[in-house]
A = this chain, B = another copy of it.
Amino acid sequence: MQLHNFNSGPSILPKEVLDQAANAIHNFNDTGLSILEIGHRTTHFVAVVEEAKTIVKRLMNIGDDYEVLFLQGGATMQFMQVPMNLLDENGLAAICDNGVWGNKAVKEARIFGPVQVVADTSADKHTHLIKDLKLPANTSYLHITTNNTVEGTQWHSYPQLGVPLVGDMSSDIFCRPTPFHQFDLIYAGAQKNMGAAGVTMVVVKKSMLGKISRKIPAILDYQKHIEAGSLLNTPPVFAIYVSLLTLRWIEKEGGLAEMEKRNLAKANLLYNTIDASEHFYCPIKKEDRSIMNAVFFLKDETKEARFLEICKQNGMIGVKGYRTVGGIRVSMYNAMPHDSVKAFCELMNDFS
């Protein structure tokens, strides 16, 4: 049976990336050593980090006023590391709470300074975004989750309000051409669109740093990581290498314009199928729907378990909604083939 991997993350990766990763475990770059056995300060691995940074900057179309770092701990670490580096009692973090991840960002930021939730969509079960934001005068930065993996909403343009913008792009990084320069700090766990779990990319405008007086532990200090060229300590060597392979794949396939073309085609097919269906519905406001994660429901809830069972029997993996949301969630990251979404839509139609 052919499997269709709709996991929300860790999630599907291109087959050639997997093949190259497996080969490097046997013999990395013809060194005769495994990628798991090489020193992180060897020229071989330094070249991996440098190439990955270069591709990121090229895809983002950003200059040397930004630094690219490969860190650990995922978005959950960034929920605290961002305010630890950028927020103190004299400032304020304005945060949009549009779901599970934004909510966690709020909680962690409060440890480090004043926080104002400038958008809270919980009353509407996060089925839309609030884009008309009012910020307090002393806002240090505005934090948004560019794609809400759990709830199925996505920002399709970004608030430009004259304050630094921080974006958690974990689940939609590199899904399409994006005005990355509108952001002052971007972070993304790699395990959706840019590799395997175990590495977190942080892209930061250098002018954002050094403005607060808090004593920051070395491992959590962006400035120290910049000074050390992303090699402050032993980095997650293999996870960074898989990110490099995935970044190379994105460029080889045609870059962000091609990713957008494919992702729009998949998302349009799925949402059109849902909207045309008598048995399924998507509660997310059309203009805010995510092209990465479609969250939808059966009109007759009692049929949900049966539908999920049929999905399983047909090799459709990872389509059960997040535990606090329920329903169905279909994740369609860059590496997801159009044919898998098509097969899923056919199954929906058959079920109807």
Which chain A residues have a beta carbon within 8 Å of chain B's beta carbons?
3, 5, 7-13, 18-19, 21-23, 25-26, 32-34, 36-40, 72-77, 79-80, 84, 104, 107-108, 111, 189, 191, 196-199, 215, 217-220, 232-239, 242, 317-318
- Contact residue among B79, B111, B197 (Cβ-Cβ distance under 8 Å from A215): B111
A34 to chain B: which residues have CB within 8 Å? 13, 18
- In Å, the complex CA distance between A94 and B198 comes to 32
State how many angstroms separate the Cβ of A22 from the closest Cβ of chain B: 4
Tell which of B73, B197, B233 touches A76, judged by Cβ atoms closer than 8 Å. B233
Instruction: Say yes or no: B12 contacts A196, CB within 8 Å.
Output: no
Pick from B10, B25, B237, B239: contact of A39, CB under 8 Å? B10
Task: Please judge, given known A-B contacts A26-B22, A39-B318, whether A3 and B236 are in contact too, CB under 8 Å.
Answer: no
- Known contacts A37-B5, A73-B72, A80-B220; decide if A237 and B10 are in contact (CB<8 Å): yes
Whether B237 contacts A197 by the Cβ 8 Å rule is: yes
**Which residues of B have CB within 8 Å of A197?**
36, 40, 234-238
Residues from chain B with a CB closer than 8 A to the CB of A107 are 218
Q: A18-B34, A77-B219, A107-B218 are in contact. List 6 more A-B contacts (CB 8 A).
A: A7-B38, A7-B39, A73-B233, A76-B232, A197-B238, A198-B238
How far, in whole Å, are A191 and B34 apart by their CA atoms in the complex? 13
Complex formed: what's the CA distance from A19 to B219 in Å?
32
Q: Would B22 and A37 count as touching, CB distance under 8 A?
A: no
Q: How far, in angstroms, from A197 to B39 measured CA to CA in the complex?
A: 10
B residues near A215, Cβ cutoff 8 Å: 111
Number of copies: 2
21 contacts between A and B (CB under 8 A): A5-B33, A5-B37, A7-B38, A8-B39, A12-B37, A18-B37, A19-B26, A21-B25, A21-B36, A22-B23, A33-B317, A72-B72, A72-B74, A72-B236, A74-B219, A76-B218, A80-B219, A104-B218, A108-B219, A238-B238, A239-B239
Most chain B C-beta atoms within 10 Å of own C-beta, residue among A26, A33, A76, A236: A236
Question: What residue of chain B has the Cβ atom nearest to residue A192's Cβ?
Answer: B234
B10–A37 touching, CB < 8 Å: yes
Q: Say which residue of B3, B21, B233, B238 sits within 8 Å of A239 (CB atoms).
A: B238
Interface centre among A8, A72, A73, A232 (most CB of B within 10 A): A72
A219 contact set on B, CB distance < 8 A: 73-74, 76-77, 79-80, 108
Please tell me if the beta carbons of A72 and B198 are within 8 angstroms of each other in the complex.
yes
A189 touching B234, Cβ below 8 Å: yes
Residues B33 and A237 in contact, CB atoms below 8 Å apart: no
Q: How far is the CB of A4 from chain B (nearest CB, A)?
A: 11
- For residue A196, which residue of chain B has the nearest CB? B36
Nearest B residue to A39 by beta-carbon distance? B7
Of B10, B38, B196, which is within 8 A of A10 by CB?
B38
